[in-house]
Amino acid sequence: MKNKYLKSDLLPFVKWLVVFMTLFFYLQIEGRFNLYFMEQWQLFLNDWAYVGSTLWQPGGVVQLVSGFLIQFFVYPFCGAFIFALILTLIGFFIASVFAKLASGFRLYVFALLPVVSLLFLQHSVNYQLAGTIAFLLFSVGLNYYFKIHTLKGRLLFDSCVSLMLYLLAGPVATLFIVCVLLIELFKHFRSSYLFLIPGVIVYLSANLSLRLGVSGDIKQLLLPHGYFEYSQNELMVYQTWIFMLALLSLALLLHWVKIVKRSVWQTGLVLQFIVVIGYAFYCPSFMIDTRNELFKELEHYIGLEDWDMVLKRSQNKGTNNYLCQNCRNLALAEKGELAEKLFEYPQAGIQNITINWDKTIYVSALLSDVYFSMGHIAMSQRMAFEAGGNENGNNYNPRMLKRLVQTNLVYGHYRVAEKYIVLLEKSLYYRKWARLQRKFLNNDSAIEADSLLAAKRRCLFPEKSISGNDGINVDLKYIIEHNPSHQASIQYLSAMYLLLKDIHSFRELVEYYYETPALPYLPKAFQECMMLFTSSDPEIIDYYNISDEVVQRYQTFRTIKTDEVVQEYQNILNHKTDKKATYWHYLLCYTENN
């Protein structure tokens, strides 16, 4: 008998442990790069000015709590553990609410629908973890509401908790008010009108917030839009709240059924599993953009400077994914292989090298990496500032702060560099790196002794035209003149000419710099282009030291009919052949309308 009771007590714990472990393994296997990505776009600072400015806002507490927790996502397994625990607690408390209303029907599986919704919603780059933590507070408050049985007590509790939720967690207070009102309508219809009072209190508080300039939009204060950085699909915004209200209504309808046959609740349990599992499999198809997930992974490896993994994960990806192509070509440049292997990968115009700036923080961060690799320090610094090196909604991007430290050290702007060092020193994970940078402040000799900073400093020059106004190609020419040993500069410039099919400019560049420190030899892609001019002149082929392999392949290429070349190139792009593409394929087959 004792064992029977022991098993009965342990069963709920085992159920929720299974839920936690399922969420943990999913997040660690499928969602870890999303967690790393979240950490990169919200930096928690141990600073009263930062804390105070956040607390001033409705929902500021959950913003701080989410920021505090997210800083641990940088550590392996920590993000999956923390997020899985939050989601499991939400499921537990929602299931507890349903158990109080319709215990006979065992609706605890349906309690996982909001959990699954929040799980996949977090993959949106616009959604904040604060919204999920706010939902946890809401579920706790709703549980305690059932412990109060008097009308005055419930009304007082509803009013106080609604206001507290608004101040601490923001818009989720509205959901709490509506849920309590639904419960009162079903269980205490005659007095239910009194529970409009908490709604009036929160609405007046939101209007006061507007007058104080906390927010310029009532939706941001009272509706789930407040947990999104930018505008989002309305269905995604309201999805979790809709689930909660629909399931609560179902539980209230079933509340009046006092006796439930075993076969009925067992059948209901099977249906619940079918619905939840079906939704879990269907949800990613419309809530997760696989291209964004790939970019999150690539950005993680870029931050680690693991260029081999960037190349591996970006291989065989479509040419229309410009973010992916930029990451791959960045990796080639950092490995010194951009000019050698450029056309061994599918290319689709100049945007494969430098994607058009759309003023989003994500593209800005990528462009900062690309320009830094080029040696274009001014543009790298500007993009880092746009990407979150400046304060963006009380959030900083730590990697872009590090970039601003580096670029200002390169320029010798030591006071500005120190400002960003101080910011990073207020963080938990990045303070060690920041303290190490102090040795460079007001110390030109230390910078000259550092391989990275010294190389980038030699890319600077006194001309004021290095601003991008005259075109990146002009700026790169200046950089090559002042620092010919910075191979990435000439490789990027040449790659741009090749992708633009500007063969005249490419030829001039090669003829001017060949056998100089900037271009001591011709890489493979350069040889392929130069064959267009030298194929009939053995002396020039010898002068440029073009390999026999390239010469023979070009002679074979010239004998192939145009339609066969196009088909061969399509087969290469679609991975139907082991052959490698060449510049001649690109020149003949690629058009802007591809």
The DSSP secondary structure of 110-178, one letter per residue, reads TTHHHHHHHHHHTTSTTB-HHHHHHHHHHHHHHHHHTT--SHHHHHHHHHHHHHHHHHHHTTHHHHHHH
Residue 67 is predicted with a pLDDT of: 93
Strand partners of residue 127:
228
**pLDDT tens series, the chain, 594 aa:** 455 554 556 778 889 999 999 999 999 999 999 999 999 988 899 888 888 888 888 899 999 999 999 999 999 999 999 999 999 999 999 999 999 998 878 888 999 999 999 999 999 988 999 999 999 999 999 999 999 989 999 999 999 999 999 999 999 999 999 999 999 999 989 999 999 999 999 999 999 988 887 766 888 899 999 999 877 778 888 999 999 999 999 999 988 777 778 888 888 889 999 999 999 998 888 888 888 899 999 999 999 999 999 999 988 776 678 889 999 999 999 999 999 999 888 888 888 898 889 888 899 999 999 999 999 999 999 999 998 755 544 568 999 999 999 999 999 999 999 999 999 999 999 999 999 999 999 999 999 999 999 999 999 876 654 555 667 888 999 999 989 999 999 999 999 999 999 999 999 999 999 999 999 999 999 999 998 887 778 888 888 899 989 988 888 888 888 888 888 888 777 777 777 888 888 888 876 555
Q: How far apart are CA 156 and CA 240, in angstroms?
A: 27
- Asked if 411 contacts 377 with a C-beta cutoff of 8 angstroms, the reply is yes
Identity at 479, one-letter amino acid code: I
Tokens (6 digits) for 165 = 């939720």
Number of neighbours of residue 215 by Cβ within 10 angstroms: 18
Residue 431 is predicted with a pLDDT of: 95
Apex CA 488: angle with CA 483 and CA 493, to 5°?
A: 95
Tokens (6 digits) for 520 = 């001591």
Would you give the DSSP letter of residue 519? B
- Asked if 258 contacts 104 with a C-beta cutoff of 8 angstroms, the reply is yes
> Among 78, 141, 98, 105, which residue's Cα sits nearest to residue 257?
105
Tokens (6 digits) for 411 = 């320029």
Residue 275 is predicted with a pLDDT of: 92
Residue 57 is predicted with a pLDDT of: 86
Residue 3 is predicted with a pLDDT of: 56
Q: How far apart are CA 145 and CA 141, in angstroms?
A: 6
Q: How far apart are CA 213 and CA 570, in angstroms?
A: 57
Tokens (6 digits) for 110 = 């349906």
Sign of CA dihedral 367, 371, 373, 378: negative
Residue 562 is predicted with a pLDDT of: 81
Apex CA 500: angle with CA 494 and CA 504, to 5°?
A: 65
Q: How far apart are CA 84 and CA 224, in angstroms?
A: 21
Contacts of 564 (CB under 8 A, 6+ apart): none
Give the distance from CA 420 to its chain's centroid: 22
Would you give the DSSP letter of residue 386? I
Residue 383 is predicted with a pLDDT of: 94
Q: Which phi and psi angles does 7 have, rounded to 5°? A: -65, -40
Q: How far apart are CA 330 and CA 338, in angstroms?
A: 8
Tokens (6 digits) for 413 = 């702007």
CA dist 223 → 53, 307, 323, 393, 395 (Å): 22, 42, 33, 19, 22
**Count of residues making up the chain:** 594
Residue 392 is predicted with a pLDDT of: 47
Domain boundaries, the chain: 9-288, 294-514, 521-594
Contacts of 518 (CB under 8 A, 6+ apart): 480, 484, 485, 487, 489, 490
Q: How far apart are CA 15 and CA 6, in angstroms?
A: 15
Residue 197 is predicted with a pLDDT of: 96
Q: Which residues of 483-492 are buried (b: 16+ CB within 10 A; e: fewer)?
A: bbebbbbbbb
Residue 468 is predicted with a pLDDT of: 57
Strand partners of residue 516:
519
